[in-house]
Structure 1
């Protein structure tokens, strides 16, 4: 199988996203560039996240819309959002878009920024962008507009107002870890808001120091994905097929 390890990593990410209830069945998409230019990428067809296998993933060409056509092809928003990212954002080797519950609640608030109220949320301090310009489904024009908001390489998390959340990274492990921790941090934040008590927000210097320390924790993302694959190897080994 071509790109076998990359396919297995991505399939594991789909399976675990379903286990964490961050999925929408056959909607939402993860993609991973497989050529040096970043314009050819793996992406999911219309198969439930919980049943995704490595061999199910399609290879699309961001310069060829016909590559996104066929039986069970990824839907129009997959091409619109992910095709645009892989055309316009070279450092977006991997992209993951979900409508996970707590991130989407956050995206529905007038103030959608995730503040640094704990160690997990500090990971995103000065590293997130808010999209306040939701214009409908992520077709090509909307996808291009979103891609333009990722031109700063230090920003790899987009809170998509009235929509959901989008993450980019160099690898499946890096991008998945960012998505995983953002949803958990957003959950803590929403629950903290529900208490009605004042928030203990970290000072900017402490939040930035913590974010840098987490940035420098090389290997944490690989460890997380390896742990997930170890569980799947035992419980659901068909994900690598």
Structure 2
């Protein structure tokens, strides 16, 4: 007999600002599951509570379609749980997130996923190539981090921080993809673009035909064009409200 998940309800027990952040992050978990980017109970999305060094992250052992606003776990940079909650977190999984939150005050949301497409492209010698419009949105702010095994070595954090630098997209070689953003919506849209770019590259390279790369002159200009089209740097400001509506349609249970 499988015991039911504990049902928590933090609505009205936390600030309105924290509750809204919990809603956004829980919705993002559900959207990641909907698009098939999840990995059983592994990988993480984290979000910083404004004005603090406290972060929300998923409870270890839950699938992404079980994440709710109330069962997200509040932790500090050391991964110490600050909530009165029956849930735990994956300390190794939070190593990557804490490393980035330590040094990137602008990275209020960090998304790290193990999708086949991002792992595949991250592990190619040439990495992500300018083969689609989607890749144009990632390449100007993309870096790489070499594989060092499971993220349990605290010494790796400094190398991860240095490799990401001020970029917003990171391909972890043999491992997966990562994006950061000032909001949950921005980080999500950056991951959407990176994932699509990697999917298209894998499809193209599987054809065995010569590929056509976007000329450098167009690469140099398209990132600025995207800012005008999206009224922002990532499209999160425009697309995220629609994605929230989608999450509500898929299953309003995330808002518990």
Q: Which residue of 1 aligns with 2:131?
A: 117
| 1:179 Cα offset (Å) | 0.5
Q: Residues 91 and 150 (structure 1 numbering): CA distance in 2 closer, same or farther, change over 3 Å? A: farther
Aligned equivalent of 2:160, options 146, 153, 162:
146
Aligned to 2:210: 198
1:67 equivalent to 2:81? Answer yes
Change beyond 3 A, Cα 1:202–1:239: same
Aligned residue in 1 for 2:46: 31
Q: CA deviation at 1:88?
A: 2.0
CA RMSD in angstroms, aligned pairs only: 1.9
5+ residue gaps in structure 1?
Answer: none
- Give 3-state SS (helix, strand or coil) of 1:126's partner: helix
| 1:167 matches 2:179 | yes
Gaps spanning 5+ residues in structure 2: where?
1-10
Aligned to 1:165, the other structure's residue is in SS state: strand
Q: Deviations over 1:191-210 (max 9, x none)?
A: 11111111111111201211
**2:110 pairs with one of 95, 104, 109:** 95
The aligned residue for residue 201 of structure 2 is 189
How far does residue 147 in structure 1 lie from its aligned partner after superposition? 2.0
Moved more, 67-76 or 92-101: 67-76
Larger Rg: 2
TM-score by length of 1: 0.90
Alpha-carbon separation, structure 2, partners of 1:58 and 1:195: 44
Checking the alignment, whether the CA contact within 8 Å between 1:167 and 1:175 is kept in structure 2 is yes
1:211 aligns with 2:218: no
How far apart, in 2, do the equivalents of 1:163 and 1:196 lie?
A: 25
After TM superposition, which residue ranges in structure 1, 4 or more long, deviate above 3 angstroms? 68-72
Does the 8 Å contact 1:130/1:161 carry over to 2? yes
Shift of 1:228: 2.1
The aligned length equals: 235
- Asked whether the equivalents of residues 111 and 191 of structure 2 are also in contact (C-alpha less than 8 Å), the reply is yes
